[in-house]
Amino acid sequence: MLKKVSFLVFAVVASLLLILTGCGKDKEVVTTGKEEDANGKTLRIVTDANYAPFEFLEGNKVVGFDIDFIKAVAKEAGYEAKVESVGWDPIFVEIESKRADVAVSAITVNDERKQTYDFSVPYFLSTNKILVPEKSDIKSGDELKGNSIAVQTGTTGQEAVEKLLGKNHKDIKKFENNNLAIQELLQGGAAAVVADNTVVEEYVKNNPDQKLKVVEDSQAFNEEFYGLMFPKGSELKADFDKAVNAIYENGKYAEIYKEWFGVEPDLETLKAQQ
Ligand code: ARG
């Protein structure tokens, strides 16, 4: 009997502990300090925290340029927001089904995605680049042909490589996240990774011992702009567009940008896209 009771106590304590510690994984409540006019609603914001320096995990905490950016925008717009890392493919499912309110994940705005989702005004200029070992003699997009190329599934990187090699080409190795694509390169299973310039450049800078380099080819890869992604018809778009422009004007965007990239942003180029 005593044994039974103490087991029960143990079970209750253990599940309480689980609730207290386990559930918070990859989630972060962003307190914007504007609770009184936050419409009483906490927005659910989703990301794929495998894309440094835009979004990545520091312990259980989702951090990065995008995270600081969305915090500032949500605060400006008067919303409480909670950021959760759900993975790349799930972002699109969560937004389309309206289970999440906003996605921030270095998401390129393009015509295909615009058919299903709404996007904010652009907030970042990007392009795909090629990540290769220092000794590689790949010098252009064209020279990717005949090699195994690793990409993150469902990204513009995959799309760009398909344009060069052909759709569903056997040499294109697709991974659930970009870090896995880089691992494949490091293990010799791929000759290159194609992904957003800032991400591959950051990787090379942070991992000098891995002896990698970045190859650019502005002929093969287009200019892209990131946007916040909303469910089609979301009323948040107007508020968030206004807030993005407000932090362009009041210096907050430049402050965050300088913190992560060490240089001033080119606001004129971004604004010219609106
Ligand atoms: N900009 C690219 C795209 O929209 C890649 C984004 C990947 N983002 C991420 N968090 N994994 O397709």
Tokens in use for 236?
């948040």
102-103/223-226 β-pairing: unpaired
pLDDT of residue 39: 54
Burial class (CB in 10 A: 0-12, 13-18, 19+), 243: buried
92 lines ligand 1 (CB under 6 A): no
Tell whether the model's pLDDT for residue 214 goes beyond 90: yes
From the CB of residue 24, how many other CB atoms can be counted at a distance below 10 Å?
12
Nearest Cα residue to 154 out of 211, 202, 195 = 195
Q: How far apart are the first and last CA of the chain?
A: 71
Contact 91 CB / ligand 1 (< 6 Å): no
Q: How many residues does the chain have?
A: 274
Report residue 29 as tokens: 């409540």
Q: What residues have CB less than 8 Å from 254, skipping those under 6 apart?
A: 264, 265, 267
85 Cβ below 6 A of ligand 1: no
Q: Which residue's alpha carbon is nearest to atom 5 within ligand 1?
A: 155
Instruction: Look at the alpha carbons of 189, 127, 135, 165 in this order and tell me if their dihedral is positive or negative.
Output: positive
pLDDT at 28: 54
Q: What are the domain boundaries of the chain?
A: 27-123+227-267, 128-223
Cβ atoms 216, 129 nearer than 8 A: yes
- Pair of tokens at residue 60: 């259980």
Phi and psi torsions of 118, nearest 5°: -100, 150
Q: Determine the atom of ligand 1 nearest the C-alpha atom of 126.
A: 1
State mean pLDDT over 146-173. 98
127 lines ligand 1 (CB under 6 A): no
Which residue shows structure tokens 């916040």? Answer: 228
Mutate to test the pocket of ligand 1, among 57, 94, 95, 107 (most ligand atoms within 8 A of CB): 107
12-60, pLDDT tens digit by residue? 444 444 444 444 445 555 555 444 444 557 999 999 999 999 999 999 9
Give the C-alpha separation, 35 to 22, whole Å.
26
Ligand 1 touching residue 107 (CB < 6 A) = yes
Q: What's the gap in Å between 152 CA and the centre of ligand 1?
A: 8
Give residue 184's pLDDT band: very low, low, confident or very high (50, 70, 90).
very high
Is pLDDT at 128 greater than 60 in this prediction? yes
Of 262 and 20, the structure prediction assigns the larger pLDDT to 262
Q: With left for phi above 0 and alpha for psi between -120 and 50, is residue 233 left, alpha or beta?
A: left
Task: Please identify, by atom number, the ligand 1 atom nearest to the C-alpha of residue 55.
Answer: 10
Tokens of 163: 């344009």
Look at the block and give the residue holding tokens 């220092």: 134
Q: Tell me whether domains 27-123+227-267 and 128-223 share a fold.
A: yes
Within 8 A by CB and 6+ apart from 188, the residues are none
Q: Does domain 27-123+227-267 have CATH number 3.40.190.10?
A: yes
CB 108 within 8 Å of CB 51: no
Residue 180 near residue 155 (C-beta atoms within 8 A): no
State how far the Cα of 119 lies from the Cα of 102, in Å rounded to an integer. 9
Shortest-distance atom of ligand 1 to CA 159: 12
Cα radius of gyration rounded to whole Å, the chain = 21
Q: Beta strand pairing status for 223-226 and 149-152?
A: unpaired
Reported CATH class of domain 128-223: alpha beta
Q: What are the pLDDT digits (tens) for 73-106?
A: 999 999 999 999 999 999 999 999 999 999 999 9
Does 175 have pLDDT greater than 60? yes
Q: Are 200 and 186 in contact (CB under 8 A)?
A: no
